Amino acid sequence: MTTLLASSLSLLLLLIIQCVSGAHEVEACTSMSCGGIEIKFPFGLKGHNQSRRCSYPRFLVSCNNQSQTIFTLPESGDLVIKGIDYASQILWVNDPNQCLPRRFLKGLTLSSSPFQFDPGLYNRINLTFLRCPSNLTETSPLTPVRCLNDLANSSFAVTYLWMRSIPSLLNESCEVINSSVPYPISNIDPWPFWVDIGDDIQLTWGRPSCGGCEAQGQDCGFSKDTGLQTGCFSRSQESSGLPRGVKYGLTIGVGIPGFLCLIGLGCFMCGKIRRRRNPRPSIDLPISSFMVQSSPFGTGLDGSTIEKYPMTLLGESRRLPKPSDNICSICLSEYEPKETLRTIPDCNHYFHAHCIDEWLKMNATCPVCRNSPTHTPSSISTSSSMSPSSSLSSSH
């Protein structure tokens, strides 16, 4: 019984450790929103007490007071995110002040960031920006860049150096600024219908690769508490309304009492089976229960008198003169081979020697028929009391 209980407790401890370690293996991270943009893994939102394991490195964004989702490039400052396609791993960005050409003039670069311009959509070309008086740009064939106008009565116009030459008048009157700009790939000559270089630009990322999870209708996240390995997780697990940590807590809180109940039930059943196989209980309890009963005949017999009653050593067949007498009426246990029995001569009732000895010390009557022995104990010799033992045992 002790071994079974120890094994059960060891199993329970192992189960708890596995549950706790499993609770930390994958952390549940809820999606958030800023300005209508859903923010979820691999992106994380600053200032919302999210664990660092809820976003991939260098994918943190912030939400400003204008409800704009801001992503900061390490070398080029802030960009506002206009949309995210998690399945295709694409995001659309622009300048927070809606003047992307100004960012090109300052040398917009994606180095040290996890993003790149989609190589199938953009080519980097050299553009020439001209800072000219407004009256010149309004009459010239150049494309104006309105967001670059300033208060000095001048404006910017843009042309392609490698496609068109700058008129001499503009070249003499304007400030020339060259810059590398991502321009949509096209087989058609854009002149004079230039693409607005102030439109949103499209960026992609390759790592972490979470598009497959989205295509399967699952969420992406870290598969372990450490490292950068990612995996897919069922959204039904996250939509149940309870954080994963609470679920583990409920599992352990309900599981431990239930498991302990199973242990107790198992121990109880094991005890029942053992008692059925070996029904002989402890002698102390039955004898004490008999001892508390008061004898109507006063006190019991002395030890020397009891010792003179015949004793029998059972053989393997447990054969007795009365085949029906196979149970000790005091402890209610069946007789087993090699056990020593004692007989009350007057009524010839058999009992375990140690059971009847204790009984007769308290009661001078037979436990079965309640008759008081009338034979003179001194007439029963010790040798004759052992004769049944020898006869029974020799026959086996």
User: Of the candidates 160, 169, 115, which has an alpha carbon nearest to the alpha carbon of residue 140?
Assistant: 169
Structure tokens at 326: 């196979």
Measuring CA to CA, which residue among 191, 193, 235, 197 is closest to residue 213?
A: 235
pTM above 0.75, yes or no: no
Residue-by-residue pLDDT tens, the chain, 396 positions: 445 445 555 555 555 555 444 444 445 678 899 989 999 999 999 988 788 888 999 999 999 999 999 999 988 899 999 999 999 999 999 999 889 988 988 888 998 899 999 888 888 888 888 888 777 766 666 777 878 877 566 778 776 655 567 777 777 888 888 888 888 887 655 555 567 788 899 999 999 999 999 888 899 999 888 899 999 988 754 444 455 555 556 677 677 777 777 888 887 777 777 767 665 544 444 444 444 444 444 577 888 888 888 888 887 666 676 666 788 888 988 888 888 888 888 888 888 899 989 988 888 888 888 887 765 444 333 333 333 443 333 333
- β-bridge partners, 123: 183
Provide the pLDDT for residue 57: 92
Write the CATH number of the domain with boundaries 284-394.
Answer: 3.30.40.10
d(CA 185, CA 123): 6
Domain boundaries, the chain: 284-394
Question: CB count, 10 Å around CB of 181?
Answer: 21
Per-residue confidence (pLDDT) for residue 48, from 0 to 100: 82
Where would I find the H helices in the chain?
Answer: 2-25, 100-105, 134-139, 168-173, 211-215, 235-238, 244-277, 284-291, 303-307, 353-362, 382-394
Task: Determine the straight-line distance between the first and last CA of the chain, rounded to whole angstroms.
Answer: 35
Is the bond into 377 cis (omega within 30 degrees of 0)?
A: no
Per DSSP, 292 falls in state T
Contact 114, 141 (CB under 8 A): no
